[in-house]
Structure 1
Amino acid sequence: MVSDTQHVPVMATRRTAGVSFAASLTFEDIHHSYHSKETIKGVSLAAKAGEVLCLLGPSGSGKTTLLRIAAGIEMQSAGRLLLNGQEISGPSVFLPPEKRGVGLMFQDFALFPHMTIRDNVRFGLTALPKREALIQADAALERVGLSHYADRYPHVLSGGEQQRVALARALAPRPAVLLMDEPFSGLDSRLKDSIRADTLAILRETRATAIVVTHDAEEAMRMADRIALLKDGRLVQVGTADELYRKPRDLFAAGFFSEINVFDAQVRDGRVDTPLGGVDAGKYRDGQVLSVAVRLSGLHVGEHEGDIQARIVSRRFIGVVELLELAVPGCDGTVRARIRADQLPQGLRDVMLSVNERDILLFEKDVPTS
């Protein structure tokens, strides 16, 4: 197998990607059940023409099921799917996958081991005469910088190169919408950033609408024009990375986009106080019990600066930063903090804390449903 470290950067060797005719794709009140269990619960969402929309959420949130419904591999139990406002799946219409103008890139790349790289890319071009299909396949391989592998087989490629072949195959028919299911999950962490950046550049050039499934919030923030956050088959929040990070709708959204400490606190005299300090209660009324999230990045830890005493319980070095577990007066458990590595002297136990009020977030406390 060729080493990942030997691949030639895509951007330096490929031709400009061909342009697709981008389309909007709309999920309208989509429901889906599997073995009597509801997996999608009334999701309404639209990917705008030419945008990169990330479906983000933990395992079991419904991301891949929505993608499969869009591709025509699964059928919803209720609701409609619209391409440029035209119904392609609903109560009276169901277009098969090959009629939708939608491309799908699988998580495992799904390359055929017995076919050459060129034939893998040509596989989705069955509607074209053979000569034209070969020309299109070669052009797609050139776009991703892998023309020199056209006559080889998938087993000689690194993971990053296989990902690029899968992308070339998905883009070769110039789909109006490209669906990508966790396309970078199998890549070495050293390569993810560069392959992701190259992929995004190609998507921008083709101008295809792209819907990308991921469970990684940072990946979604790096790639997406907008992010749709899902939980338990429901849509929690849709917006730009900035909107979801700065104005999360609930505690789940806040915790998905940043590491947080969580406290329960009651509003008193228009304020909410925690062991890490307090803030104005804003719209919340006196007596209301809230969940208070404090971002780890909003905690400043110093030898002398700060107004809250704390003691370091554990300290873990992870390269650029250190993770601290702190004992704080009035707090039953420990408080976590993330600081720059070597900011504090080794062996230091007693420290002082301060908190940036912008990193304290207030939410109504979730009431368990019976």
Structure 2
Amino acid sequence: MSAGTPAARISQRISAIAESATLAVDAKAKALKAAGRPVIGFGAGEPDFPTPDYIVQAAIEAAGQPKYHRYSPASGLPELKKAIADKTLRDSGYKVDPAQVLVTNGGKQAVYNTFATLVDPGDEVIIPTPFWTTYPEAIRLAGGVPVEVFAGPEQGYLVTVEQLEAAVTDKTKILLFVSPSNPTGAVYSPEQVAEIGKWAAAKGLWVVTDEIYEHLTYDGVEFTSIATAAPELGDRVVILNGVAKTYAMTGWRVGWMIGPADVIKAATNLQSHATSNVSNIMQVAAAAALTGPLTAVDEMKVAFDRRRKAIVAGLNAIDGVECPTPTGAFYVYADVRGLLGKEFETANGPVRPTTSAELAALILDEVEVAVVPGEAFGPSGYVRLSYALGDEDLAEGVRRIQEFLGKAK
């Protein structure tokens, strides 16, 4: 930069980050609601249930203990790290030492820490697409290059080894693997998980696996951890997880990453300078969640399953919409390509949306229902709706969408 040339106010690195589309949609819906508009939001992946009482009580009791009013180890409270290790063995059959656990401020910090620790500038990370909106941004922040591998509804939103093979280059370092998936709700079978894991091991790749929806599967479908299904990966696997979705604890902000000791030590060093320890009170609550019963989780799943069936049936009743039935998480990923280019009557005259982003904006403006367009997760032509909201809002929101989209010409 020459003398006298003003420096940019915002760094190029941060300027390049896209806002979280899901949070942006949710924020807009909540702002409209606060202004008195009857907006129904299908944007955020947030259970409408309260956090179970026994978890809340653990936090209340912890708040009264002076030992939790002080700094604690940046990597997490020993009792929570042990609870995470025990839970991972219980649920995934994967044995880890508590020293291989780093407790983070929500799952997003675990994602950021992982890619910041593993990725050098120019390293490529294969991302099965549609993907959760934060993954590519975290990879880019680390200097990495996200490589999208798209699987559409024709193949159940599940990528194949053949597709992954075609995406590998000599710069590929990591495969990101997510099952159950946000945004599609797709779940890989045990056989598919093992095949992909063995392929990655044979290629010498790291696998970063996000397992935060592990307990949310339906129709008898099993969750399978790639760390267990493909032992050939050895110490080249990092598991991301958290309490947000399973225990209705999105606002408590506790997640974690599990990996080989050197990776966890390096990520802990990073976190020690970024945020230090997660709130001790939240960590005690998370430990109570992981060591307690899964009764509340099972009750929430009954409601999620009911809503899943209702929203799939409601969307599939609309001409031009095809909505596969998800078997995991709490999202549907509807194919709306059949509606793009169609004409819709509005107060300002006829409109022909040509992208799912335009269609989502039209739905919000015309019938006050917020959905997230496919552009947030990959190619245009799709919309994601969360069915973690209440039954009445879900029914009313789907009714409004049906009424408006049903008038397409």
CA radius of gyration, larger in: 1
Task: State the TM-score, normalizing by the size of structure 2.
Answer: 0.27
Greater fraction strand: 1
Task: State the TM-score, normalizing by the size of structure 1.
Answer: 0.29
Greater fraction helix: 2
